[in-house]
Structure 1
């Protein structure tokens, strides 16, 4: 069957193929330009074009030199100019210092005529000398004298102000002087174009006249902002129309600085305005700045056009949103800015340049993200706030939601947080719901550009929404043709439309949940209403989680973003709701009962394995908490209520037997094991109850061991729990001779193990003899370590020695390991007093020395020890 893609996807495929063709053509044009540049002669004497006779011939004057491909003969290296530049720089610097010293120190010792003549002669000479030097092709010297002339003109301005017109204010005179000097140096730089310094110096001087004039006139802050903006616009014009990299870079840096401060002035005045009328004037300044940024984006290159779009978008939001925000209450000022930011998304239908539109959309996203950063902290406070009240479990229902979460946030100032979350969620939800229409609308914006024949570097690589990069696609074509060295470029991975749509839906779900959750805290809903509302929210989150995974049960792909997010949010919401309900006993039972039922029902309905396991585990945890509540309600101490917690592990064992090989069976049983571990922890304070809990847990483990797939783990666990329960029970009864209780159990167990080994020689020695030996040896060893007499350690050591020898003789792993371990520990117990006595008699440096010597020996024979350990492991592994 042939698959016909929808029109939007087919359009994206066509755009991607065209982009690959354009990229291939651009790469070939770039290669052609490089070849033409390589074939150009280095001097006028060389003949143009490709010289076939020079193929493989060494350059003249270099016998034996390697052949140069394509007939290219490299030019001879010119003499280094480092020493010349250093000399010129030092000379110009010394002359500048001398001029400054003359102006500041010796100025008063001459008459007005002499002063004027010296300064004018020096300045005119410094200005005229570069022209003569340039005609003689002494460019470096001309640059040095040009720098000296710049310093002299600045000194001229200072001298004029200090002597000729000292009554004029410094700021006003500096503004006029900087304007005059900027004009002079601009004309001078245009007249002597080979000089690199005059035009950038004129640009630097042009940054000050308007700002200093406004400052000197005592103008308001907004006027200073307009002066900065006008200077930035002038810099932008120079960047777009100026010639020379130095001029454009200098103007670009100046425009960025002055424009930033102009925007800062406008934003500060807009935010601090007392009303809409006061915010209108800075709004006009900001709108003018936005217009200037967009005007620059029409002619700027790709990156700067996008930056201009971002600046214009953010500035429009600040200008338009600042007017209603100035009249809004304290907690609602963020809302007008967000509405303006969302409205910026309509720029996708405008006639702005594509790169500028990209920047405007980025600005819209930045505004939305900033609003979310403001609104999300109170959501976190609502979710995590109940943790602070864990010490007040069942202390009584609080009066309202805010008291229940225990947060001290200024809630009246956060009144706009729920609407902010709801607005962003609504915008993303609309994009998720009507995604095909959104993709068709934005497809021309994100379509690849077509490179002009003479602009091979202007190839667009962005694909349309929904398009993914083909394997191997890149700027050099689909197969990497023409890549230097024959290497294949790495493929460019792009997000597919389904991924973007799924992300939008997932974020919509989280924001809508946060908005509803935060609304209860902002409104300070009564405690029962808040708990009921959060329960409904958890149930609502379970709906997309169950329906999203109930289709094919796979839960894979971009379409799983919404159900996965709903699953995570439902679990987080259930944890927060459970903590919130601990303030009241009745509410705790109701909430955890409802959560257990909801998650158990979700586990039954969903088909995917991982979500079903998560739902089942969450339901099991809820059941464990309910059984713990039952003990507290009955007035039982924690150790007395510990056996009640084993109800959930018992149910998990029954469910495991029912599910058998189902993938969910293991998580359910592990949840029950966690409940049993909690019960053991609660019963540690009382030895009889601990023994009871251990014995009951052993019964449950034995029940799980009936199933063959659980027998290897559950069987050993059951034996260990029974033995441990016996030890604890004996210790709780102050039994000093545990052998009297252990031997009657050990002997029949060993007989049963011996009979089983006769019937099944392949049976493991641990299964046959491990429980019987452990039931006697281990309790006796524990008592022997605290027994001051010598009889029990001696008898225990002899028994352990006999068992070890029997294990070695009949190659039984359980006897050898258990007997050897008990024998070693018993011997260590007997030697411990003497070791302590000897260690106390030795000098303190001897133990570290012996330890170091041991480490050296082990390190030197490491390989041999490793082989011995492997041999011992293999020998033990071959035993039964």
Structure 2
């Protein structure tokens, strides 16, 4: 094939050939062929679809004839949801009836008759599940097992009510704890034999009040209650222990619910119960730290945090381990800080900052830098090695340091406002800077150290100015803003792509906002108004020159507010008819604009209608 000419399209004009023109001609030929093949393929597809529809029609007609010759099917059994609702309601009614009988309706029986009736009901309720499990009626067995375990608790109450064997002569708290413990043991053993699900949750539920009931016998303080509920949480952690199921199966396991099916919900229930117990323990410990001798409440708070760590390790959840590590560090800082504050109240702030530094050093020494390998995670050493993940432990230290840093700032402002000087805030701030530098990544240690050292110097300078009686607002705000500016510049140096809001936003807010508020709420201050306006104008010009959005917007806003503030006195000098006339004129012009736009839309609609 001879290539066509690029000018005239001829093949024998004598001009030089063009490869692009050749490609165009070749593509036109291929497109023509592909269009022909596509049309043929569409005809084939249409024919296949028609044949498929005919086959479906024959098939449906034949199936309908087959169904018409079949006998009517037996009604299907009730859905599982309805079955579960019936079992739930029936078990609830049986439980209510048992409670009413125990509390009210059995006064006409003697002591022996009462014991025989309750014991008989309990034995029957607990004897039914093993029989019905063999017939595959697992839901029925679950219902009767729950009722039987409830009757076991009621048996204990009945024995107390009639003072059987003199049980009512002792401590009521101790007897209640014994009844709950015995019921939990019966439920655990019953689950071991039958493999049912309900006894597992019953054992977990009735085990919760055992330790607090035993503690109530001694009348403990806040620390005692904290230890008691921490013990409850520790018992719940046992359910989360890895390497074995929560309770082993018995001879009827194959006929009941599979163990793996119910293990996860049970562990979830144990985690929820343990979490509630830990929160109660921590609440008692924190109240004890504030109102009692803080030593034992501090130990109880750390014990509660250790239980959380143990639960996270047992659950083998990395996120839970990170959170538990952070909570342990925070609990240590709170407990140790409160104890040191009690020892030396005059230097409480500095002592707490020193505790934060010690916590950072401990985290640096104990927390691993990498995730524990999976080969070691299954061993006890490997599990406890991952109990303090580096990220979570460092987050705890940073949280404590941040809260204490805010406290230092508030105390500094309070001293400046009160014209008194205490050098504890700079010392505490220096210790917090050291604690932060210890735990930040190596690449950030020098910038953080420089920023922290400058912040400490600024804090000392502010207190020195307050001691010297300096009352100019900008002397304090500009120095504070310089710290934020240095932080933004360090961030921009590490990340050149950081925006102007990150670099200059906070510094500009700290520098401009206090002065703006001062001139808005106060009269006079002519020099401050002038300097603030000039400063805002300079910030806007600098932002426009270097293409920075934050200086332009913040400086422009401040400049506009200052200008409006300057125009405020002029408002009182204007006649009252001028604002009304201006508002009316604005509304009329707006209405004219809307009318013109509506007329243009009508013309466009008419034109389109003519086209159609």
> What's the TM-score bracket when you normalise by the shorter of the two chains?
0.5 to 0.7
- Does the CA-based 8 Å contact 2:173-2:213 persist in structure 1? yes
- Does the CA-based 8 Å contact 1:517-1:534 persist in structure 2? no
- Does the CA-based 8 Å contact 2:233-2:273 persist in structure 1? yes
Shift of 1:416: 5.4
| Cα distance in structure 2, aligned partners of 1:315 and 1:544 | 33
- What is the aligned-residue RMSD (CA, Å)? 5.5
Describe the SS at the equivalent of 1:219.
Answer: coil
More helix by share: 2
Mapped pair 1:436 → 2:438: no
Provide the residue aligned with 2:44 in structure 1: none
Provide the residue aligned with 1:516 in structure 2: 458
Shift of 1:170: 2.5
Matches within 5 A, 1:288-687: 288-299=303-314, 300-329=316-345, 332-333=348-349, 335=353, 338-339=356-357, 342-343=360-361, 345-346=363-364, 347-349=366-368, 352-353=385-386, 356-375=389-408, 402=417, 419=427, 421-425=429-433, 435-436=442-443, 516=458, 520=462, 524-528=466-470, 533-534=475-476, 537=479, 558=496, 560=498, 565-566=503-504, 568-570=506-508, 572-573=510-511, 576=514, 609-610=546-547, 614=551
Question: Could you give the per-residue CA deviations for residues 629-652 of structure 1, whole angstroms, max 9, x where no partner exists?
Answer: xxxxxxxxxxxxxxxxxxxxxxxx
Provide the residue aligned with 1:181 in structure 2: 183
Matches within 5 A, 1:845-864: 864=599
Describe the SS at the equivalent of 1:240.
Answer: coil
Call closer, same or farther: CA 1:308–1:219 in 2, change over 3 Å.
same
Provide the residue aligned with 1:258 in structure 2: 277
Query: Where does the alignment leave 5 or more consecutive residues of structure 1 unmatched?
Result: 1-56, 66-76, 383-399, 405-410, 439-500, 619-666, 688-727, 729-781, 787-824, 829-853, 872-880
Provide the residue aligned with 2:205 in structure 1: 204
Matches within 5 A, 1:239-258: 239-241=240-242, 242=246, 244-258=263-277
Provide the residue aligned with 1:698 in structure 2: none
Call closer, same or farther: CA 1:426–1:577 in 2, change over 3 Å.
farther
Question: Could you give the per-residue CA deviations for residues 152-184 of structure 1, whole angstroms, max 9, x where no partner exists?
Answer: 111101100001133333222111111111111
TM-score scaled to structure 2, two decimals?
0.62
- Does the CA-based 8 Å contact 1:143-1:197 persist in structure 2? yes
| Cα distance in structure 2, aligned partners of 1:612 and 1:252 | 49
| Cα distance in structure 2, aligned partners of 1:599 and 1:542 | 21
- Does the CA-based 8 Å contact 1:235-1:252 persist in structure 2? yes
| Cα distance in structure 1, aligned partners of 2:500 and 2:438 | 15
- Does the CA-based 8 Å contact 2:529-2:562 persist in structure 1? no
- Does the CA-based 8 Å contact 2:353-2:431 persist in structure 1? no
Provide the residue aligned with 1:34 in structure 2: none
Question: Could you give the per-residue CA deviations for residues 6-65 of structure 1, whole angstroms, max 9, x where no partner exists?
Answer: xxxxxxxxxxxxxxxxxxxxxxxxxxxxxxxxxxxxxxxxxxxxxxxxxxx9xxx99879
| Cα distance in structure 1, aligned partners of 2:83 and 2:497 | 68
| Cα distance in structure 2, aligned partners of 1:88 and 1:587 | 80
- Does the CA-based 8 Å contact 2:309-2:324 persist in structure 1? yes
| Cα distance in structure 1, aligned partners of 2:454 and 2:280 | 38
Call closer, same or farther: CA 1:237–1:675 in 2, change over 3 Å.
closer
Count matched residues.
485
Shift of 1:145: 0.9
Question: Could you give the per-residue CA deviations for residues 305-327 of structure 1, whole angstroms, max 9, x where no partner exists?
Answer: 22322332222222322221223
| Cα distance in structure 1, aligned partners of 2:549 and 2:61 | 79
Shift of 1:188: 1.0
Query: Where does the alignment leave 5 or more consecutive residues of structure 2 unmatched?
Result: 1-55, 65-75, 248-262, 373-384, 607-612
Call closer, same or farther: CA 1:87–1:512 in 2, change over 3 Å.
same
- Does the CA-based 8 Å contact 1:603-1:611 persist in structure 2? no
Describe the SS at the equivalent of 1:108.
Answer: coil
Comparing 573-582 and 338-347, the one that deviates more: 573-582
Call closer, same or farther: CA 1:522–1:148 in 2, change over 3 Å.
farther
Provide the residue aligned with 1:6 in structure 2: none
Larger radius of gyration: 1
- Does the CA-based 8 Å contact 1:297-1:304 persist in structure 2? yes
| Cα distance in structure 1, aligned partners of 2:501 and 2:270 | 52
